[in-house]
């Protein structure tokens, strides 16, 4: 399909999808809902319009910066959501989309005309006539806009579509050359990664079934029950998935339960458990014998966890829809042989899968997460028996959420907990004994691991 076939109706669908994408997560569901209603899904236009939609979210930080410059506001979030969505679409098409930027003048003029007529009318109908008029006036300025990066980080923001907040932090850890490798990796499509449920199937059975389905699977390099393959793959129609024989999980995440090393008949607390991938894996390693107490505060994610556990045949999990900081009162203190704290985090190590994180992560959020992680890790220490182990993990790249939290805990609980050194299969973290998985080095999500042993009671 050529961009020459874009119609006013296509632009309207894009604006509606972008607006809904702010309200409905995941954003691909918003795109799917709108494109279905416009008859785009499955049509010859689907691929290109989908690419434009995802490009908007990949670039949204740069786009919103241009919106602020053109409108004079300090934060694009204060604008009417219809206007914000329309401006995002207009800027993507006229400033960034190379096929339009480099095309004949008549194509750009056509897009400008469609934006002014169809989208201005949409804004007037949905909000107020003045909003449509305001957008009309801005379209010409958008068409004339040119980006001029001021320094290396701004050039990298433009090239790799990652925010300054993330780039500057990674630079401090990896240096210039390796940061470029990581940023390139963030812009590659990762393979699909699933873990085999050994209670219901075997790796050989899954490999054979996937091959019959036309998939070319490979066993993971670091976890031998993980299978990777190129997408797309329809999980809704997959018997392996429906029967609980495979679980969608990245290899770095799958390693967490193995590092925790739960045993049959132990008591385990999974502190932030939903949607349950690690909970299910812990139960597998326990051979579905013992007790797992799983806590989470998100009702929708808990539902997904219940569905997963049922599908996979797991029966030893007791779920609590509670803030896990209440767990010592609910369960009692020093009751767990093993505690997993896969902590809420900025998820900065998952950018290749979650494009909206490229611009959503802010300085304030990083420190908010670090404060919460510290509080949760203190709770984990209260839950663990003397001699018990606590695994702290995040899918963040940032020192503030990883090594800084560990340092603080080791200082405050000196003599109470100690680090159990980790060195394989990934790389040593910035504190000896901790471990990090890196997307560009290991072909996984970015992941951090710190394993503690509780030496004595508080």
Residues that are catalytic: 395
Strand-strand pairing, 336-342 and 384-394:
parallel
DSSP letter string over 137-165?
Answer: HHHHHHHH------SHHHHHHHHH---HH
Q: Locate tokens 């802010």: which residue?
A: 362
Q: Locate tokens 């020192």: which residue?
A: 399
Q: Locate tokens 């480099």: which residue?
A: 102
Report how far residue 388's alpha carbon sits from residue 74's, in angstroms, rounded to the nearest whole number.
Answer: 50
Mark residue 290 as left, alpha or beta (left: phi above 0; alpha: psi -120 to 50; beta: remaining).
Answer: left
Residue 304 CB coordination number (10 Å):
14
Which residue, 22, 21, 56, is CA-closest to 35?
21
Please tell me what DSSP assigns to residue 444: S
Q: Which residues contact 128 (CB under 8 A, 6 or more apart)?
A: none
Q: Locate tokens 């416009």: which residue?
A: 38
Which of 352-368 are b and which e, b meaning 16 or more Cβ less than 10 Å from the residue's Cβ? Answer: bbbbbbbbbbeeeebee
Contact 448, 393 (CB under 8 A): yes
């Amino acid at each position: 399909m050529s961009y020459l076939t874009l119609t006013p109706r296509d632009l309207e669908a894009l604006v509606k999808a972008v607006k809904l994408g702010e309200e409905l997560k995941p954003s691909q569901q918003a795109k799917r809902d709108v494109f279905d209603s416009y008859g785009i899904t499955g049509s010859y236009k689907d691929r290109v319009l989908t690419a434009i939609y995802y490009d908007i979210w990949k670039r949204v930080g740069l786009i919103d910066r241009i919106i602020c410059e053109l409108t004079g506001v300090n934060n694009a979030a204060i604008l009417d959501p219809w206007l914000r969505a329309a401006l995002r679409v207009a800027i993507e098409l006229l400033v960034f989309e190379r096929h339009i930027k480099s095309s004949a003048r008549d194509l750009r003029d056509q897009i400008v005309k469609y934006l002014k007529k169809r989208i201005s009318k949409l804004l007037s109908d949905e909000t107020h006539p003045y909003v449509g008029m305001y957008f009309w006036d801005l379209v010409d300025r958008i068409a004339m806009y040119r980006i001029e990066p001021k320094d290396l980080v701004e050039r990298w923001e433009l090239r790799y579509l990652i925010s300054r907040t993330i780039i500057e932090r990674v630079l401090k850890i990896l240096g210039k050359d390796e940061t470029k490798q990581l940023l390139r990796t963030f812009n590659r499509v990762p393979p699909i990664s699933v873990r085999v449920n050994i209670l219901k199937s075997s790796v050989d059975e899954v490999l054979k079934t996937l091959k019959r389905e036309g998939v070319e699977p490979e066993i993971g390099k670091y976890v031998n029950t993980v299978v990777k393959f190129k997408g797309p793959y329809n999980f809704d129609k997959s018997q392996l998935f429906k029967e609980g024989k495979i679980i969608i999980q990245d290899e770095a995440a799958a390693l967490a339960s193995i590092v925790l090393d739960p045993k049959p008949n132990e008591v385990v607390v999974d502190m932030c458990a939903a949607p349950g991938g690690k909970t299910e894996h812990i139960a597998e390693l326990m051979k579905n014998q013992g007790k797992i107490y799983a806590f989470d505060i998100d009702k929708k994610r808990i539902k997904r966890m219940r569905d997963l556990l049922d599908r996979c045949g797991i029966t030893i999990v007791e779920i609590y829809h509670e803030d896990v900081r209440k767990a010592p009162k609910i369960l009692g203190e020093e009751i767990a042989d093993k505690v997993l704290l896969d902590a809420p985090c900025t998820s900065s190590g998952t950018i290749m899968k979650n494009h909206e994180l490229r611009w959503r992560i802010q300085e304030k959020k990083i420190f908010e997460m670090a404060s919460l992680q510290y509080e949760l890790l203190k709770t984990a220490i209260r839950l663990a028996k003397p001699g018990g182990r606590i695994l702290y993990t995040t899918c963040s790249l940032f020192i503030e959420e990883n090594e800084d939290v560990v340092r603080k805990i080791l200082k405050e609980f000196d003599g109470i907990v100690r680090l159990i050194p980790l060195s394989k299969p990934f790389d040593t973290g910035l504190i000896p004994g901790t471990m990090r998985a890196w997307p560009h080095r290991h072909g996984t999500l970015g992941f951090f691991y710190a394993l503690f042993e509780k030496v004595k009671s508080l």
